[in-house]
């Protein structure tokens, strides 16, 4: 029987920032008259405000975003893609909810058109822009409703490339998390994602499924999105099907892909953490066999895997093992500016990890100023940011965000505030 810690299910995130870096600036085309020339300068604006006039910087930033919107409207697929990518980079590096709110319909239309008519990199750039758009807004329910049909169509279309479907799956899960409305809608999207990622589960004879590396990326993305949405479910709903979920996830431990194995393990411990809260005496079926599998992965020294993969897997599964066997959550502190985000549950770790993958190097900045993320991680209203004179004067965007936060708080992000009457897990 698993030993339970006294740790409660707090709401926060995980301290491993993945994806994105300063190299984003190198990926855009070098055109001084275009929006992408803005990207490199915006990093210094964020980190060195005392060298730039804030109002002038904000105006320049908005003008560059307008240029990017125009580029994303061009007939050339290459130009559209570069415009979409520049918009993504701009929204990662700056928080401009008021400016984006006024152009929400236009950007949403650009995203939908590119996903419907574009191919490959254009579809991926549009899908990434969709989730970044949602993070910028105070309420993205309208964006989700507008893009939902297209996102569902692409993620379910087997003729689309796996990489495009993977990015779209992330956008679908993220927008549903941020603006999906009632829990029944969340469960509906989870079922779509589950129908895809379970294709990587082991066969009936116990052998690993044979899928291409590109398809494994799709399955990992779907499982990661499914895990994010599962944080909106109540412990009772998760408890109803926990044994079948654990069985499927455990079967993915045989996958040749380290990312899928780790995602399966972390999703499993997330579900069990919730079930332990629901019933502290619960013990999964075949508990001893499960612990044995986790211990093997936590100490794996197989030479068939790369040294990097072995190290990453052992580190992750040591934490998973403690969570499953002892009911112990992670214990990390994420420092950003003058604040610290405490991560002490798998619930918050999954959410934090997911947004880190989307926001990349801009995660710490957005934790400081983004009302949406600060609500998700219960950080309260944004702190005043010092201007060039060292005073506590807020920027126009920050003032508006603080004023609107009180009545635009998004309660659908929290499972405790969702309508659960019609939801069936």
pLDDT at 397: 56
Task: Please report whether residue 301 resides in a domain.
Answer: no
Q: What is the CATH number of the domain that holds 162?
A: 1.25.10
Task: Please report whether residue 119 resides in a domain.
Answer: yes
Counting Cα atoms < 13 Å in the Cβ hemisphere of 177 gives 28
User: Is residue 139 within 8 Å of 101, Cβ to Cβ?
Assistant: no
Please report where in the chains the tokens 């990518």 appear, as a residue: 85
List, for residues 4-37, the tens digit of each pLDDT value.
544 444 343 333 333 333 444 444 333 433 444 4
Give the chain's domain count: 1
Task: Please report whether residue 138 resides in a domain.
Answer: yes
**How far, in Å, CA of 309 to CA of 297, rounded?**
11
Decide: helix, strand or coil at residue 216.
Answer: helix
pTM, whole model, 2 decimals?
A: 0.80
List, for residues 156-176, the tens digit of each pLDDT value.
999 999 999 999 999 999 999
Q: Which helix (H) or strand (E) is 333 found in, with range?
A: strand 332-336
Task: Please report whether residue 2 resides in a domain.
Answer: no
Task: Please report whether residue 153 resides in a domain.
Answer: yes
DSSP letter at 203? P
Counting Cα atoms < 13 Å in the Cβ hemisphere of 347 gives 26
User: Is residue 335 within 8 Å of 353, Cβ to Cβ?
Assistant: no
pLDDT bracket for residue 400 (50, 70, 90): low
**How far, in Å, CA of 381 to CA of 357, rounded?**
24
**How far, in Å, CA of 330 to CA of 265, rounded?**
14
Q: Which helix (H) or strand (E) is 343 found in, with range?
A: strand 339-343
Domain of residue 107, residue span:
22-255+267-283
The CA-atom distances, in angstroms, between 22 and each of 19, 26, 216, 353, 364 are: 10, 8, 27, 19, 14
pLDDT at 239: 94
Q: Is 406 exposed, middle or buried (0-12, 13-18, 19+ CB in 10 A)?
A: exposed
Task: Please report whether residue 162 resides in a domain.
Answer: yes
Task: Please report whether residue 271 resides in a domain.
Answer: yes
pLDDT at 51: 46
The least confident of 13-22, 92-101, 327-336 is 13-22
Pinpoint the alpha helices (H) of 138-181. 141-156, 162-179
**How far, in Å, CA of 241 to CA of 61, rounded?**
49
Residue 42: is its pLDDT beyond 90? no
Closest CA to 104 of 146, 50, 54, 150: 146
The CA-atom distances, in angstroms, between 123 and each of 12, 104, 274 are: 31, 19, 35
List, for residues 239-274, the tens digit of each pLDDT value.
999 999 999 999 999 898 999 999 999 999 999 999
Closest CA to 229 of 272, 165, 184: 184
**How far, in Å, CA of 223 to CA of 265, rounded?**
11
Q: Is 196 exposed, middle or buried (0-12, 13-18, 19+ CB in 10 A)?
A: buried
List, for residues 103-153, the tens digit of each pLDDT value.
999 999 999 999 999 999 999 999 999 999 999 998 899 999 999 999 999
Please report where in the chains the tokens 């030479």 appear, as a residue: 303
pLDDT at 131: 96
The least confident of 11-20, 181-190, 219-228, 349-358 is 11-20
**How far, in Å, CA of 205 to CA of 252, rounded?**
13
pLDDT bracket for residue 180 (50, 70, 90): confident
Contacts of 306 (CB under 8 A, 6+ apart): none
Pinpoint the alpha helices (H) of 286-395. 287-298, 307-326, 346-359, 363-369, 371-376
The CA-atom distances, in angstroms, between 80 and each of 71, 76, 118, 143 are: 6, 6, 9, 20
Task: Please report whether residue 327 resides in a domain.
Answer: no
pLDDT at 204: 76
**How far, in Å, CA of 137 to CA of 178, rounded?**
10
């Amino acid at each position: 029987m698993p030993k339970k810690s006294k740790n409660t299910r707090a709401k926060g995130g995980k301290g491993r920032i993945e994806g994105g870096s300063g190299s984003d600036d190198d990926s855009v085309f070098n055109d001084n008259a275009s929006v992408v020339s803005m990207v490199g300068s915006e990093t210094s604006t964020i980190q060195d405000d005392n060298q730039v006039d804030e109002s002038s910087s904000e105006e320049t930033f908005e003008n560059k975003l307008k240029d990017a919107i125009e580029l994303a409207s061009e007939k050339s697929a290459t130009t559209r893609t570069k415009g979409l990518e520049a918009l993504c980079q701009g929204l990662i590096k700056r928080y401009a909810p008021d400016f984006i709110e006024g152009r929400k319909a236009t950007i949403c239309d650009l995203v939908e058109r590119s996903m419907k008519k574009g191919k490959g990199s254009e579809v991926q750039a549009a899908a990434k822009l969709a989730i970044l758009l949602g993070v910028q807004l105070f309420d993205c329910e309208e964006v989700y409703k507008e893009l939902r049909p297209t996102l569902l169509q692409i993620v379910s279309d087997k003729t689309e490339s796996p990489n495009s479907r993977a990015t779209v799956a992330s956008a679908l899960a993220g927008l549903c998390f941020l603006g999906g409305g009632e829990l029944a809608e969340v469960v509906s999207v989870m079922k779509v994602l589950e129908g895809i990622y379970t294709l990587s589960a082991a066969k009936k004879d116990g052998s690993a499924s044979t899928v291409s590396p590109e398809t494994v990326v799709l399955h990992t993305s779907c499982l990661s999105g499914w895990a994010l949405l599962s944080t909106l479910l109540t412990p009772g709903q998760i408890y109803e099907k926990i044994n079948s979920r654990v069985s499927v996830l455990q079967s993915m431990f045989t996958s040749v892909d380290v990312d899928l194995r780790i995602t399966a393990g972390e999703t499993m411990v997330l579900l069990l953490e919730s079930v332990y809260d629901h019933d502290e005496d619960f013990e999964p079926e075949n508990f001893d066999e499960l612990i044995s599998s986790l211990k093997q992965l936590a100490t794996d020294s197989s030479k068939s895997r790369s040294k990097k993969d072995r190290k990453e897997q052992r580190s992750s599964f040591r934490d998973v093992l403690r969570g499953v066997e002892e009911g112990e959550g992670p214990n990390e502190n994420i420092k950003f500016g003058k604040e610290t985000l405490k991560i002490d549950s798998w619930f918050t770790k999954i959410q934090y990890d997911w947004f880190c993958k989307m926001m990349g190097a801009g995660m710490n900045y957005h934790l400081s100023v983004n009302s949406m993320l600060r609500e998700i991680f219960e950080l309260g209203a944004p702190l005043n940011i010092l201007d060039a004179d060292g005073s506590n004067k807020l920027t126009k965007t920050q003032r508006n965000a603080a004023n609107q936060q009180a009545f635009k708080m998004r309660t659908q992000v929290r499972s405790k505030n969702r309508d659960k009457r019609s939801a069936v897990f």
